[in-house]
Amino acid sequence: MEKPFLTLEEVAEYLNVDYQLVYKLVRTGQLPAVKIGRIFRIRPTELEAYLAENTLSPIKSLKKKCSVCEKEYNSNLMLKYVCAFKGCSEPVCVDCRERKKKKFCQEHSDKK
């Protein structure tokens, strides 16, 4: 039979985190718990729901391409410009914009 309640220590051990983090999640209401006397207890179903709700979706590739040179960048800082063609939001890297003086993506470079 599954335990009807878990202690904060058991939850911390299960999640491999510090007890104080679990206590903070309970005190702030992020992790639902029952207070029996002076002791908090957590239902396993509540823990599962909390974990499901706070699970991040897999991160897709962070690399983005410059629409001029097609070089891939991991940082948005290098892709801080966009194509100057009205309504186009294709990224243009700092190198193409500042050094090569390119304002338009490949698709709009001939339409200026």
The pLDDT of residue 43 is 94
- DSSP annotation of 107 reads T
CB 42 within 8 A of CB 51: no
The pLDDT of residue 59 is 56
The answer as to whether 63 is a domain residue is yes
The pLDDT of residue 1 is 44
**Mean pLDDT, the chain, as a whole number?**
87
CB 112 within 8 A of CB 104: yes
| Residue-wise pLDDT tens digits, 9-22 | 999 999 999 999 99
pLDDT above 80: residue 61: no
pTM of the complete model: 0.51
Q: Are residues 47 and 66 in the same domain?
A: no
Of 40, 93, 101, residue with least CA distance to 69: 93
Q: Domains in the chain: how many in total? A: 2
pLDDT above 80: residue 56: no
Domain, as residue range, for 15: 6-53
